[in-house]
């Protein structure tokens, strides 16, 4: 799913795996407020607020998200209205739509994926979230 992951050190306890979603916001769930944490996060419901996540995020195809996102890697299959800052890779899947500015190291936009905003690429992480 994320091209930036390495499976070379499978025995390491500290390595996160994509096979295990550690936090899931279900399709019938609606959240208003900011979210922070770590581990693999998948959002299938609707969220309005900022996310400051240490690890990876999956925005599911049924997700309607409004707010800024700061994370390591993100896969967008649903709708995001807000700015995204990824330390490594942002993938906008064929059903994904991002309306907002992005700051990433690498970007992948699949056919029919949509980005309406400006893109800053490089190694510098920009935090859109004020704490």
Output 59-65 pairs: Cβ under 8 A, ≥24 positions apart: 59/96, 60/27, 61/93, 61/95, 62/27
What is residue 122's predicted lDDT score, i.e. its pLDDT? Answer: 82
d(Cα 6, Cα 86) in Å, to the nearest integer? 17
What is residue 2's predicted lDDT score, i.e. its pLDDT? Answer: 53
pTM of the model: 0.80
What is residue 19's predicted lDDT score, i.e. its pLDDT? Answer: 61
61-111 tens-digit pLDDT: 999 999 999 999 999 999 999 999 999 999 999 999 999 999 999 999 999
4-50 tens-digit pLDDT: 444 444 444 434 444 688 999 999 999 999 999 999 999 999 999 99
């Amino acid at each position: 799913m994320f091209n930036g992951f390495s499976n070379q050190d499978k025995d390491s306890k500290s390595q996160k795996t994509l096979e295990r979603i550690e936090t899931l916001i279900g399709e019938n769930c609606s959240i208003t407020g900011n979210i922070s944490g770590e581990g693999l996060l998948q959002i299938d419901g609707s969220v309005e607020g900022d996310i400051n996540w240490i690890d990876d995020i999956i925005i599911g195809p049924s997700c309607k998200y409004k707010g800024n996102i700061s994370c390591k890697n993100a896969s967008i299959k649903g709708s995001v209205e807000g700015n995204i800052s990824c330390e490594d890779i942002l993938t906008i899947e064929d059903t994904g739509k991002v309306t907002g500015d992005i700051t990433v190291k690498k970007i992948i936009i699949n056919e029919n994926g949509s980005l309406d905003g400006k893109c800053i690429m490089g190694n510098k992480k920009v935090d859109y979230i004020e704490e």
